[in-house]
Structure formats: structure tokens, C-alpha cells
Amino acid sequence: MNVIVCVKQVLISTESLKLTGDGKIVEKGMSYDINEWDIYALEEAILIKEKYGGSVTVITIGPETVDKMLRGCLAKGADRAIRFWDPFVEGSDGFILAITLSEIIRLFEYDLILFGAQASDDGCAQIGPMVAQILAIPHATLVTKLELVNNIAKVRRELENGVDEIIEVDLPAAFAVQTGINRPRYAPLKGIMQAMKQVIPTLCLQDIEILGHPSGNFISRIQLERLYTPEIIRSALILDGTTDEATDKLLAVLSDKGLL
Amino acid sequence: MQKKALPTKVKIVIIGGGVIGTSVAYHLAERGCTDILLLDKGELGHGSSHRAAGTISKLGLTASGVEIMKHAWRTYENFKKEGDIDLHPNPYILPLWQNNPGYYQQYLKEVVNILKSLGSTAKVEALSAEKTKNIVPEIRLNDVEPGLGNVLGAVMDWESVWVDPYLLVMAYAKRARKLGVDIRTRIEVTGIIVKGGKVKGVETTAGQVECDKIVCSAGPWASKIGKMVGLEIPVKPVRRVLIKIQKKEETKDKWGQYQDEPGSHEKRKGLWIRHDVAGFVGSGTHEIEGKDEAVDPDNYNESYTYEEVIDFATKLDQQMPGFGEFDVVDGWAGLYEVTHDSNWIMDKAESPEGFYLICGFSGEGIHASAAAGLFASELILDGKVKCVKDPSLWAYNSQRFPEIL
């Protein structure tokens, strides 16, 4: 069972993000780490490898600063890590990233592609399904359980209002996994020592067949207009007194605002 | 309701809401001085305090140090009694090697007698090599590193504890607030107003505030604040890393913290490790204070690197080969605010009048915080310090840096 895991590095901050005047994130003093959902996707891939054999390939898009994250994935048990970087992807929308990832994935043999259900920074939750569409394979999102039997995946999905569904999906397929699907391991020291010796191949635009992609013009269709911190306006009015008095006051307030 | 405006005038402005600033605020307020505005440019404790290892001991290495730490210890025990912090037992062991430099060897050999003569009640014991091995069975006694020689023994501080540093900051802040101190976060001091050689107020990102006195308890940012009044405060921010690890099975050890003195060799980096909740924290890149490079406190790597993990593991394997395999859970880096001699600065500036320096704790901020708060409150309110008999005995004052200040 060959599994590909797509991971993303995100900003980690204990405080709110600071923005420059023109709406760019101040990255000075910020730390980065792997997206939380992707940790579960990686663990699921390693568990599958441990159970059925095969390999785990981790893929990400990012500059050199993502190498620590990739070495962390290798330390936990991934067999190889691939980093793609080309200036054109910087600031691209999800669709461009999905096309890029799909073309990287086409370079490898795979039975399963795993994603985190969403990224903690932009929360778009769309890369997994888009990659599946581009590669023309079935997919499922919000996966909380994954069992593999004879080239079929039995998948439990977490729906709204406390309802789950179980579906069967033919492989190869792509799944976006939810946190809690497993209990992620920590990187053993031995794994870190080995990972530090591994070479992380870096791909760029020339390495993938992307220019002639049927998506047409290779330009983001979504443009960021503004990034800003919303103004905090807290307005609270405490209506004290007995229930009758408070009710009268409430009616007066609503009446003043023309809501009655 | 809009955000409450800053007061236009207060008696004292404290710059920095870490473990020192909040302790100073609490100790002043306890004496009835509550016309205080404490400002932090971020959140309380988020600059550096919450990243600390949090080790506290009864030890002080001079008569004043011993005296002042008795007060500090009482404060921490009270906070524990009132349910705000936990004091986790952390028996602290310092190995003594054949080839440690003279002063260190002498100190370790005589530490028990020295402490006794200073009036310390700390339960400190000098251990033979055999007893050291009994307490730390993982340790290697012979030829630890080239040039270090064999382990001769160790000094054990049986009563050392560790505390969650963030909870300690909150314990001070809660009490200070309750007593009436105005604590504001996300407000940065951008300038200090001085007229006629006296402190007159601060300029902040939320407006101007008049005041008579300013306490600089900005930790690694202290020298930046000092520059606002033309002072070169000799406090250097240096990066220190902590790596959190976990063994496959939890062990019950007689030791809590093992600390190798890095100063035993030029350019040698040391190992420290202590038990933590579900695992251990430590590092293998502990340098003697003052030797490492200064970093920009607003822009340094707050995370750890895998190279630092390997340094840690290598040191651990050299000194404690029996420690066994482990997983790396997490890691982070914080800042020490070091002075040239690794001693604290608790003093008022010669000029401008009304400017107090409570900084430079050189990695002992959590341990020292209650002592610093008491010392500062007496310095500010009484003009002299009563909690130690002769503060000039102890090098807290800034006069020891005449070439800089």
C-alpha cells in the first residue's frame, strides 16, 4: 500500500498576528510548524504502512524553511519527503496549489492520498477534494476511521449534528482526515538522527508537466483584496432590577432602536 | 463599552509584565502603594517568563542572597497554600568532576559549609561518587568527556522545586490587580519623558501617562528601555532552548534535575535535564552566562532545531548512558537576560531620578522573582533596603558597571 501524504507548514503564534500597514503578516519572531490536521494524516499513513507494508511519501509546497517539518515526518516513519518550490506558487489560490500538487503526485505510484481535513491558517478545506478531482479519483472528507479491505476503503465520515456515515470507496482514492482519527506518535530520537541524514529532493516547475494543463491560464483566480484585524467593538448593557424592571428596560432599549 | 482609557497620571509606571514586573507590582501594592500602572507590550508573561524552566531553590550564595531567598520561599509556599501554583519536588544534583576549574571545585566542595555559615537552612548535601551513582544510576563516572576526568561526587539540593512559570506570573498579577494595580497589556512604551533630570512620564501606543517613578522590569528588553533615558543597561538577551522528551516508560528517580556546569571548560556547552509532567525537559547547549551571542528579543528563533535535539541526546548519552531511548515531544526557545557577572541588577539609576532597574536576572528570574519584588518595593518606598542587612555586600547595584552606566 503506497500512501502519499500532503502536508502544509503553518504559522504558530501564541498571540494574535501582527499585520503591516499594507496588510501583510509580520513574520518577524514567528514560529512555524506542521498543520495540526496533517499530523493525523501522517500518522494514519504510517499505521497503514505498518499494517500492510508499502511506503509513505510526504509532499509539501514551500521554501527551504519547511525542511524541518519534513524531517519531522521522516523521523516518525515516512520513507521519503519531497519539497516543491517555485516562486510562482507564492500567494497562489487553492486551485493552483491543487494543480501543482496533482502534477507532483502523478510522478509517483500511489494507492491512497491523505490530507488533513483543513489547514489551521486559512481553513479552506478544499485542497484534498480538488486534487482528487484533478486526478479523477474518488475522495471523502472529514474521515474519522479508515479500514482497507481488498483495494476498497471502508471510511467513516463525521457529519453534522452528531451523525456519522460509513461509505466504501474504491482505491486509489484521496481522503481528508479529521483530528482524533488516531493518536499521533512523537518522533523517536533514532528517527530524528536518521532523518537528519536523509536528502530531501526539491522539485520546481521544470520537473512537473504543469504548463500545458487544461485548466488554462495558470494564474490564481482568487486574488486577496485585504487582510486586516477586525476592530474590537464590545458593547454590553446590563439590565438590572427585578424581572419586571429589567423587562421594561429591555423594551425601552428595543423601542429606542426602532426594533419594536 | 470602549476600551478603558489609560489614566493620565499615576505614581509609578512598571514597564514589563513578566514574573519580575508583576512581582514588583504585587509587593508595592501589598505595602499600600497601589497608584501603579503596569504596562506590557504583549500579554502577561508572554515575553520570556512563560518559556522558563521554572526551577526554584532556597539557595543564595551570599548572606544577603540566603536572607532574601527566605522571604521568596515563604511567598512561593503561600501561593501554593492558596492554590495558585504547585511546587513540584525537584532534587537538584550538580556533578563535580576532577578537572573542573578551581573556583568551582572549591565552591562545590565547601558549599555545604558556606551555606551553613551564611545561615541557610537549605538541605544541601555533598555526595561521594558512590552515592552520586546511587542517586543517578544512569550516570557515567569515568572519562565523561575528554579533559573532564572522573566524577568525584556531586552536590545535592534536596529541597529544590520547579514551578509553572506562567502560573507564578498570574499569581502575582491576580493579587496586584485585587489590591488595585492597573495592569494593561498590548500597550507598548515608546518613550520616557524626563525633565530636569527627573522622570516625568511615559509615552505609549495608547497615549501619554505622567508619573514620578518608572520601574524597568522589561527583562530581555531592558536595554532597549534603558536607551530611552540614555542608559546603557548591560543586559544581553540570549537564546536558550528547552526540549521536551518522553521515555517509553515513566521512571521514578531520586533526582529531579541534573545540571552540568558548562563553565568547567572554555567553549564547552553543558547538559541540564529535569523531570517534567509526563517526561523530561532539558538541553545540551547550556552555555555559561555571558558567553553566548546576543539576539534581538523581537526576532529570534522561538522554536528548537533538530541539531539542538542531537546535541542534547549526545550530551545525555555521554553523561548518562543509562538514560535509554526517548521520543521528542516538543521544544521551544526563550531568552535569558544576562549581565556580565550573571548577577541581578536591583538599583535606582543615578540619573534620571525616579528610574529603577530591576532586571538582568541571568536565568534566575523565576527563582528570584519574590525576592526582587520585595527588594524593589523597599528601594522605591523607603529609599533603602531593609530586607537584607547590608545590600551593598551583594552585587545587586548597578555601580558595578561604571564603564557602561
Q: What is the pLDDT of residues B101-129, one digit of tens each?
A: 655 666 666 777 777 777 777 888 888 89
pLDDT digits (tens, 9 = 90+) for B180-205: 999 999 999 999 999 999 999 999 99
pLDDT digits (tens, 9 = 90+) for A124-164: 999 999 999 999 999 999 999 999 998 999 999 999 888 99
Q: What is the mean pLDDT of chain B?
A: 88
CB atoms B328 and A29 under 8 Å: no
Instruction: Confirm whether A256 is domain-assigned.
Output: no
- Residues from chain B that touch A196, judged by Cβ atoms under 8 A, are 306-307, 310
**What is the pLDDT, as a whole number, of residue B105?**
64
Mutation to test the B interface, candidates A16, A186, A233, most B Cβ within 10 Å: A186
Q: How far is B302 from chain A (nearest CA, A)?
A: 6
CB atoms A195 and B306 under 8 Å: yes
**What is the pLDDT, as a whole number, of residue B147?**
74
CA distances from B394 to A87, B67, B343 (A): 58, 11, 9
Q: Name the percent of chain A lying above pLDDT 70.
A: 95
- Point out the residue among A30, A186, A193 whose CB comes nearest to the CB of B329: A186
Sheet harboring A152-158: ordered strands across? A164-170, A152-158, A139-149, A173-177, A112-116, A2-6, A55-61, A80-84, A202-203
pLDDT-derived band of residue B2, with 50, 70 and 90 as boundaries?
very low
Q: Name the percent of chain B lying above pLDDT 90.
A: 63
Instruction: Confirm whether A254 is domain-assigned.
Output: no
* Euclidean distance between CA atoms A237 and A232, whole angstroms: 16
Whether the per-residue pLDDT at B254 is higher than 50: the answer is yes
The residue among A20 and B196 whose pLDDT is bigger is B196
Is residue B31 within 8 Å of B381, Cβ to Cβ? Answer: yes
pLDDT-derived band of residue B313, with 50, 70 and 90 as boundaries?
very high
CB atoms A31 and B1 under 8 Å: no
* Euclidean distance between CA atoms B390 and B373, whole angstroms: 17
Query: Do β-strands A152-158 and A139-149 pair in parallel, antiparallel, or remain unpaired?
Result: antiparallel
Whether the per-residue pLDDT at B332 is higher than 90: the answer is yes
Chain A: residue whose CA lies nearest to B325: A189
Instruction: Confirm whether A252 is domain-assigned.
Output: no
Q: What is the residue range of A42's domain? A: 2-212
Cell numbers found for residue A127: 485542497
Instruction: Confirm whether A59 is domain-assigned.
Output: yes
Rounded to 5 degrees, what are φ and ψ at B15?
Answer: -100, 115
Is residue B219 within 8 Å of B273, Cβ to Cβ? Answer: no
ipTM given for this complex: 0.82
CATH code at position A36 = 3.40.50.620
pLDDT-derived band of residue B242, with 50, 70 and 90 as boundaries?
very high
Chain B: residue whose CA lies nearest to A191: B327
The total number of structural domains in chain A stands at 1
- Residues from chain B that touch A200, judged by Cβ atoms under 8 A, are none
Cα-only R_g, chain A:
23
Cell numbers found for residue B24: 514588583
Instruction: Confirm whether A161 is domain-assigned.
Output: yes
**What is the pLDDT, as a whole number, of residue A226?**
85
**What is the pLDDT, as a whole number, of residue A31?**
82
- Residues from chain B that touch A186, judged by Cβ atoms under 8 A, are 246, 327-329
Tell me whether residue A180 is exposed, middle or buried, using C-beta atoms within 10 angstroms of its C-beta: 0 to 12, 13 to 18, 19 or more.
Answer: exposed
**What residues of B are in the A interface, CB distance below 8 Å?**
1-3, 42-43, 46, 245-246, 298-303, 305-307, 309-310, 313, 325-329
Task: Tally C-beta pairs within 8 A across A and B.
Answer: 59
The residue among A25 and A243 whose pLDDT is bigger is A243
Q: How far is A133 from chain B (nearest CA, A)?
A: 36
CB atoms A71 and B327 under 8 Å: no
pLDDT-derived band of residue B261, with 50, 70 and 90 as boundaries?
confident
Mean per-residue pLDDT, A236-260: 89
pLDDT-derived band of residue B270, with 50, 70 and 90 as boundaries?
confident
**What is the pLDDT, as a whole number, of residue A36?**
96
Instruction: Confirm whether A55 is domain-assigned.
Output: yes
* Euclidean distance between CA atoms A37 and A118, whole angstroms: 7
> Other CB atoms closer than 10 Å to residue B224's CB: what's the count?
17
Mutation to test the A interface, candidates B298, B302, B305, most A Cβ within 10 Å: B302
Instruction: Confirm whether A89 is domain-assigned.
Output: yes
CB atoms B42 and A186 under 8 Å: no
Q: How far is B325 from chain A (nearest CA, A)?
A: 7
* Euclidean distance between CA atoms B19 and A110, whole angstroms: 53
Mutation to test the B interface, candidates A14, A26, A30, A69, most B Cβ within 10 Å: A14
CB atoms A31 and B302 under 8 Å: yes
**What is the pLDDT, as a whole number, of residue B286?**
76
Burial A125-137 (b: 16+ CB within 10 A, else e): bbbbbbbbebbeb
* Euclidean distance between CA atoms A171 and A154, whole angstroms: 10
Cβ of A193 under 8 Å from any chain B Cβ?
Answer: yes
Opening angle at CA A19, ends A15 and A21, nearest 5: 155
- Residues from chain B that touch A68, judged by Cβ atoms under 8 A, are 305-306
**What is the pLDDT, as a whole number, of residue B390?**
67
CB atoms B46 and A14 under 8 Å: yes
Cα B348–chain centre separation: 20
Look up the pTM and report it: 0.87
CA distances from A178 to A17, A145, A164, B393 (A): 25, 9, 13, 62
Mean per-residue pLDDT, A36-53: 97
Any alpha helices (H) in chain A, and if so which ranges? 36-52, 67-76, 94-105, 127-135, 189-197, 243-256
Instruction: Confirm whether A225 is domain-assigned.
Output: no
**What is the pLDDT, as a whole number, of residue B1?**
37
Is residue A82 within 8 Å of A208, Cβ to Cβ? Answer: no
Cell numbers found for residue B25: 507590582
